[in-house]
Amino acid sequence: MRKHDRFDGYTVNMFLDEDGEYLAHFVEMPNVSAFGESPESALKELATAWEGVKESYQKHDEPFPVFRPIPVFEPVQSGYMEYNI
């Protein structure tokens, strides 16, 4: 059992784009995304974006989308990696 899940169980998809930047986004909410020069910086930016998204959902009394659990480190296709953090 995880003691801390900074993304509340949502699945993060990360890949290296053609410009050499890392893009991290939620599988369940692909419009919530962040770029970084490293995987760590992309995840840090995604965490900041996620906090803002949660505040907005709560402020507008909207339900969060339901996440679907997937196995950790499930390869999606070449160059992509999907995992829970």
The answer for residues whose C-beta is within 8 angstroms of residue 72's C-beta and 6 or more apart is: 83, 84
CATH number (3.50.50.60, 3.40.190.10, 2.102.10.10, 3.30.160.250) of 11-84 reads 3.30.160.250
> Where in the chain are the domains?
11-84
Task: State which amino acid sits at residue 21.
Answer: E
17-37 pLDDT tens trace? 999 999 999 988 889 999 999
Residues in the chain: 85
What Rg, from alpha-carbon coordinates, does the chain have?
Answer: 13
Q: Which of 28-37, 49-58, 62-71 has the lowest mean pLDDT?
A: 62-71
Q: Which helix (H) or strand (E) holds 45?
A: helix 39-59
- Are 29 and 12 in contact, with CB atoms under 8 Å apart? no
Whole-model pTM? 0.70
Task: State which amino acid sits at residue 77.
Answer: Q
